[in-house]
Every structure is written in structure tokens, then in C-alpha cells.
A = this chain, B = another copy of it.
Amino acid sequence: MLIVKKFGGTSVGNKERIFRVAQRCIADYQKGHEVVVVLSAMGKTTDELIAKAREINPHASKREMDMLLTTGEQTSVALMAMAMGALGVPAISLNAFQVQMNTTSRYGNAHLKNIDTDRIRRELEQHKIVIVTGFQGVDKYDDYTTLGRGGSDTTAVALAAVLHADACEIFTDVDGVYTADPRIVKNARKLKEITYDEMLDLATAGAGVLHNRSVEMAKKYGVKLVVRSSLNESEGTVVKEEVDVEKMLVSGVALDKKAARISVMGLKDEPGIAFRLFQILAKNNINVDIILQSIGRDNTKDISFTVDEEEADEVVALLEENKTRITATEIKCKKEVAKVSIVGAGMMSNPGVAAKMFEALYSSGININMISTSEIRITVLVDIKDGERAMNAIHDAFGLAE
């Protein structure tokens, strides 16, 4: 078997942890498996490097930021190879240039284009554990790039895809994917399996275990993903195309407290107004989530939508600037909101799911602000103070604790 194992920054944060990860990889190696390890930068290294850069130039070029940040993973992989060496196992570290992990030139948020597998294959054939820097690439100019948020997961999945790995294990600080965040819902249950689509919708809905991009890539190339704990040996959750167990109506409930609702009031009821509004946001790379249009006073209409809380101020500023162009009379922003979502592949063939969710909220006296649905997801916007209670109520209503 060829296994790709990815460990995040916390898992390699100090000497003891580095050795724990090394031993874990060696265990697979000694079973006769080929092992490729993908690592992030140690602990808070990336944050520290960013702080150092900001101190020197708050508007440093992204090309130079990536040149700086890529030293972080290079440090991790070299130290890991040394740790495995100390344990008597042949290992070699490779960075993005040595692998030839080719990406686009969008520094800070590059996309993988292709990965040369020659060097990795050659090292595996020599019975080495191969340790690859996550998060980074090189572009056609031979400049370093970074892959943006969740980048190391993407590296791991991409490597698993091109190497036709039997599994791609993503080690995190949680045991796997749960029916709900166990810190909020006490009787949340770990899922044995989940489909790519469910995982994608859960990620979008704020369940932070895996980043969207890596799940999308896993789905595209059929990479069997396993989400496991770096702290214990428990089995984790398998993410794949079809789950073997009977499809559950709902596989998880997610809560996202980092939403903000923007309301644009008094828009003229003319064609093209909504287009203009959302074009402004798209041009500025603002992701818009739930959208709701309602009728305002005097032949006008109101449009509300949710954005990332962090981007809310920027959105308000952008819209205030363009107030006349979009014919708005007032722009409001509410940050004290949360999104609660249920996700389940079984939802498609079961029409009663939404009703059941709303009933659970009604019974708990929770007011719904906005609603949005996809094929396998239903999301509602509630007041932030109701968020955790809503999550528990829904979790109970669908009997997710089993």
C-alpha cells in the first residue's frame, strides 16, 4: 500500500511531537507500506514569519511573502527526516522545488497545476520515507508560491492523487468528522464514513475539519480521505464517493458563528440592480452566501445576504461608496448572527427534512432570519445567542446521537 499522511503545524510543534509523528509513520513503513508524509510549518511558525514581515513592510509583495513563508515547511520536513534518521529509518525531505510541485503564479493563493512524481518514486523505490513540504509550490518562473488556506491538505490530496495512493490520511486535533461539534453538542457522534459531497457541504457550513479545496480535489480524483486524530490511534472518518452504510437522512449539524448579515434597503425595482450590487462584491473577491430579496416600501426592494464576518466592514464600505449606483437608501450590517446547517446525502429523497428542522427550532422558540438550501444541505440564519441551542435541538430532533 502507498499511504500519504498529512500532519498539521500543531502535530510537529516541538521535539516530542516530531518524534511521535515519526514513530507513527515508521509503524506503517515497517508494515511494508510506502509512506509519503506531508507537513505544515511547525506550530506558530507561519504566524511568526508573517508578523516579522509586517514589521518590515505591512504591504510586502506577495511574491516575497511566499519566499519567506516557504522556509517554514522546509524546516519541518528537514527536522522530521532527522528524527526518522535518529530512529534508524531512511527518510528524505523534499520541498516544492525538489518535487517540482508546479502551480499558477498567484502568490499567496496559487493553484496546483501538475506534480512531477519522478523524484518521489525514486526515493520510495530506495525504501525511504519521503517527507514533502505542504502548502507550497513553484511557478513557471521558479518562484515559490503558497496555496492559501488549507494548503497542506491540498498538497496531501494532490500527492495521493498523482501517486495513486491507497489512502490519504489527514491528521488533525479531532478524532474524525462528528455529527456536530462535540464541544457544543455533548452527545455528538463520530461518523465512520461520509461522502465527499456531505463533507463539502459541512465544510462550507463551518465545520472546520477539512478545507473545501482538498475535499473537492479528493472527489475529483477519487482519493480515499481519512480524517484521523494525531493524538490517538482511533480509526477516524473515511470520506469517499459512496458510503457503505445505509444513507443517513442527516449526517451532521454545523454551526458557523462567523457570519454577518448585510441588508441593502430601498433599491429601485429595476432590472440590473441586483446584478450591479453583486458584481461589485465579486470584483472584490467577496464570497456571498445566503441571499434573500424582499419587497420594501414604496415600490422598492430590499436585498439581504450573508458574508464572512471578517469581510463585513469592507462590504459595507464598498456598498456605501456605490450607494447611488445601486440606488440604495440604507445599508445595514448585523454581526450577531450564526448559520446553522444540516447536511445529509439522504436528504435528496426525503422531502420532510426541512420541515423537521424548522419544527425543532420552533419548539425551542428560536427565530429563523433567513433560509438557504442546496441538494444535500439546509442552512438557517439565527441570532448568535440561539446558535448553540439551535444546534442541540436539531441534533436531538434527528436522533443523531443514535
Contact = CB atoms under 8 A, between A and B. Distances in A.
Contacts of A119: 142
A211 B53 CA distance: 32
A295 interface: no
A56 B74 contact: no
Main secondary structure of the interface of A (DSSP, over half): helix
Interface stretch (A78-86, A234-242, A353-361): A78-86
Given A97-B97, A98-B143, A67 B53 contact: no
Interface residues on A, range: 35 or more
Interface string A61-95: 10111011011001101110111011000001101
B56 A67 contact: no
A52 interface: yes
A57 interface: yes
Contacts of A77: 67
Interface in A246-268: none
A173 B55 CA distance: 25
B86 A142 contact: no
A92 to B, nearest CB: 8
A53 B18 CA distance: 12
Contacts of A97: 97, 142
B85 A60 contact: yes
B98 A82 contact: no
A60 B75 contact: no
Contacts of A83: 56-57
A75 B68 CA distance: 5
A83 B61 CA distance: 10
A117 to B, nearest CB: 14
Contacts of A57: 82-83, 85-86
A56 B79 contact: yes
A15 interface: yes
A35 B99 CA distance: 32
A79 B98 contact: no
Contact of A67 (B65, B74, B86): B74
B82 A60 contact: yes
Contacts of A85: 57, 59-61, 64
**Interface core residue of A53, A56, A57, A60 (most chain B CB under 10 Å):** A56
Contacts of A93: 64, 67
A24 to B, nearest CB: 16
A133 B4 CA distance: 32
A98 B142 contact: yes
Nearest to A54: B82
A143 B98 CA distance: 7
Contact of A82 (B53, B92, B95): B53
Nearest to A72: B71
A18 B56 contact: yes
B79 A53 contact: yes
Contacts of A92: 63-64
A55 B18 CA distance: 12
A94 to B, nearest CB: 9
Interface string A290-313: 000000000000000000000000
B56 A15 contact: yes
A1 B95 CA distance: 36
A68 B79 contact: yes
Contacts of A86: 56-57, 59-60
A78 B98 contact: no
B81 A61 contact: yes
Given A57-B82, A67-B93, 8 more contacts: A18-B56, A19-B56, A53-B82, A56-B86, A60-B82, A65-B78, A67-B81, A68-B75
- Nearest 6 interchain pairs by C-beta: A68-B78, A71-B71, A57-B86, A57-B82, A60-B82, A67-B78
